Structure 1
Amino acid sequence: MIGVFSHVVSKSRLTRIKLVTIDNSAFRVHYRFTFAILLACTTLVCSRQYIGEHIQCIATGVNNKVVNTFCFFTTTYTLPDANNTAHPGVGPVQWDSKPIQHAYYQWVPFVLFFQAIMFYLPHLLWRTYEAGTIALLVNGLQRLYLKTDDEKDLVVGTTRITSEATRWAKIRNVMNHLDTVTRFRLNRNWAVVLVGCEVLNLVNVLVQLKLMDKFLGGQFYSYGLQLFDDVSSPLDRVFPKMTKCDFHKFGPSGTIQTHDALCVMGLNIINEKIYAVLWFWFIVVLLPVSVAALLWRVIQFAMHSRESFNRLLLREASPGSRIDHVDLAIIARQTTYSDWLFMYYLSGNMDGAVFRDLLHSFATGLRKEPGSQASDDDLLPLDKNSL
């Protein structure tokens, strides 16, 4: 019987230890999804398997390999105002022609990789500062909702089911750590750094939008809208498929000869799709998500001292918890926003029943502090008037 129960417990989702969460979904959109998208784009641009040669040029009187190398490492250009051309932007140079130089394609993989690093940097800063504080406090508490009435712990397979005494001993240990953190204000900068990194996420998005617009010659902001245009010429201005290149060399008598080369930009077929995806991701997804995350922090800061707000939010963060309304009132009145946010992330990393007991112990400690606003009449049993 024990063997069957051991197998069931070991396979149960209830006994699996989940990773500790120290940020929110909006933060993860930056350092997980956006970071992965940019790295994938970098890899795709560097791959010749799907693109072939990045550039192939034809010119008379010059070796094609030489022209290819020269035009790739210098610049090519197009004539957007030219008429009667075989390809958009490719035609004879007139005295009033205004050529557009295209030098960005050499730097695309480097810029994409730099962007990926910049999106991971705020998470790295936050994780370095946080230094596993939440994980240290919740370590060993994620299975405390499984308890036995025996005086000793029960080991079933690889799962240890704690006794009531062990359970409360671990909770008291966390309370001691939490009391030290809050009493000496060790977490006073915790919320400041977290929100600061979230602000840095938004600033990073805005800076990178400006960077990409500058990188593409002022064409990025309207690039996504041009995708819906029936005429292909707007996109050909940004990522032309055919370009011109001038190769100069000395003739037999020392005269400078100019060779007009026509270049096929195979790389731009991929660049066009990559920046279309990035435009929609940055403008439609990333920018609204970043703004919404900061607005949510403003709402939290304004409402964290309200009991009704705490009741709703802690129920969502720690489902299954039946928190005493007096505990909520004391926490709301006597904690700063930094303490409150710290407790909120603790609740998201604990089982509801365990967090309820921890919160009750913490509120009881606040009642006993000198100058506490809670009266002795507030010392009600834990199971009354609960949510």
Structure 2
Amino acid sequence: MFDVFGSVKGLLKLDSVCIDNNVFRLHYKATVIILIAFSLLVTSRQYIGDPIDCIVDEIPSNVMDTYCWIYSTFTIPDRTGVVGKDIVQPGVSSHVAGEDNVKYHKYYQWVCFTLFFQAILFYVPRYLWKTWEGGRIKMLALDLNCPVANDECKSDRRKLLVEYFATNLHTQNFYAFRFFFCEVLNFVNVVGQIYFMDFFLDGEFTTYGADVVKFTEMEPEERIDPMSRVFPKVTKCTFHKYGASGTVQRFDGLCVLPLNIVNEKIYVFLWFWFIALSILSGLSLAYRLAVIAGPKLRLLLLRARSRISPHNQIETIAKNCQIGDWFVLYQLGKNIDPLVYKQLVSDLAEKFQGKGSV
């Protein structure tokens, strides 16, 4: 198991400097790790075995396995009854070609690739923000997040920061709005991926988790497992070949899909995870809109970030700062020592008071 997931452990490393927020990290770190781990899991034959095993008379099993894997298997959703008496498995029964409603299952060839592709999409907003951010917060917070730095060094860094804010006042809005744009991308991405998985699973994903919850609450005799409907463990496959006289012979085979035991659990988890993540991302966007539109909210947040600073100093800074200046100062508060941050706030307030209202 360590060999399979050992390559993912590098993604668990936390950054020394925080340039985003917790909801943002759920997208590019937690979700990316989950998707890559699932992608590796479905390719691990030592835990699952062969992804498909088919049984049919007169056709070599390895030929049938390869054929059915490439050309897909199918079930007949209308065929229900008592397993072992009326039917072999749910959806597996005799049928007439062209007359019965047949559902083909070919997604299983692509599960590992789609999971990895989804992980890449979740990392795109992070990549964009990291590129646009350019290490600004890390450079500004240099030595101020180190508890063993001497007072003279910290004092010099604070002076540089005060001069930086005074020189770049009202010029950092574009920096902040690029981060806000990446937050919008996160929300669009997670909602879009819900519909992408719905398309991938032939319209079954949007209600999949809710159907599974309903299934657990039903009486045993009334249950029709939605996981078996979306991810059947036993399916059919039809093989055609020429007989000795040149006529086309049709062979119906049964195929066992062990991989679907894992797939059904993966997609139940992903349903709940993506729904929760989309709700959190939507709330985060609502919060961000309130921050952009509400100077009073920015003042309250700055007070919360610098709790040990006098309120009058915070008000002086908030009055002189636009959204970009506030955003940079707020991000710095996450990365430097609280006592140093208190002194920085004091120096900034003194600087603004000395210059008068900007």
Residue 103 (structure 2) pairs with residue 100 (structure 1): yes
Rg larger for: 1
Work out the CA distance in 1 between the residues paired with 2:208 and 2:298: 44
2:8 paired residue number: none
Q: Number of aligned pairs? A: 331
Residue 105 (structure 2) pairs with residue 113 (structure 1): no
Superposed counterparts of 1:202-281, under 5 Å:
202-228=187-213, 229=215, 230=218, 231-281=223-273
**More displaced 10-residue stretch of structure 1: 28-37 or 222-231:** 222-231
2:177 paired residue number: 192
Work out the CA distance in 2 between the residues paired with 1:265 and 1:235: 13
The C-alpha deviation readout for 1:227-274, integer Å capped at 9, x for no partner, is: 131423432221111111011111112111111111011111111110
Which structure 2 residue ranges, 5 or more long, are not aligned?
1-14, 81-85
Superposed counterparts of 1:285-296, under 5 Å:
285-296=276-287
Instruction: Give the TM-score normalised by the residue count of structure 1.
Output: 0.81
Superposed counterparts of 1:1-387, under 5 Å:
19-82=16-79, 84-94=86-96, 96-143=99-146, 159-160=148-149, 162-163=150-151, 165-182=152-169, 185=171, 187-228=172-213, 229=215, 230=218, 231-283=223-275, 285-303=276-294, 305-306=295-296, 309=297, 312-318=300-306, 321-369=307-355, 372-373=356-357
Work out the CA distance in 2 between the residues paired with 1:92 and 1:167: 79
Work out the CA distance in 1 between the residues paired with 2:309 and 2:298: 10
Work out the CA distance in 2 between the residues paired with 1:133 and 1:286: 28
Name the CA shift for 1:77/1:361 in 2 (closer, same or farther; >3 Å).
same
| Distance apart, 1:341 and its partner CA | 1.1
Name the CA shift for 1:182/1:81 in 2 (closer, same or farther; >3 Å).
same
| Distance apart, 1:312 and its partner CA | 4.3
Letter aligned with residue 338 of structure 1? G
Is the 2:72–2:237 contact (alpha carbons within 8 Å) kept by the matching residues of 1? yes
The C-alpha deviation readout for 1:183-235, integer Å capped at 9, x for no partner, is: 6x1x2211101111011000001110000001111011111122131423432
| Distance apart, 1:86 and its partner CA | 1.6
Which structure 1 residue ranges, 5 or more long, are not aligned?
1-17, 147-158, 375-387
Identity of aligned residues (%): 40
The C-alpha deviation readout for 1:356-381, integer Å capped at 9, x for no partner, is: 22222223333344xx438xxxxxxx
Is the 2:144–2:157 contact (alpha carbons within 8 Å) kept by the matching residues of 1? yes
Partner of 2:88, secondary structure, is coil
User: Greater relative contact order: 1 or 2 (C-alpha under 8 angstroms, separation 6 or more)?
Assistant: 2
Letter aligned with residue 286 of structure 1? L
Letter aligned with residue 336 of structure 1? Q
| Distance apart, 1:106 and its partner CA | 0.4
Partner of 1:276, secondary structure, is helix
Letter aligned with residue 207 of structure 1? G
Is the 2:305–2:330 contact (alpha carbons within 8 Å) kept by the matching residues of 1? yes
Instruction: Give the TM-score normalised by the residue count of structure 2.
Output: 0.87
Partner of 2:173, secondary structure, is coil
| Distance apart, 1:69 and its partner CA | 0.4
Partner of 1:182, secondary structure, is coil
| Distance apart, 1:310 and its partner CA | 5.3
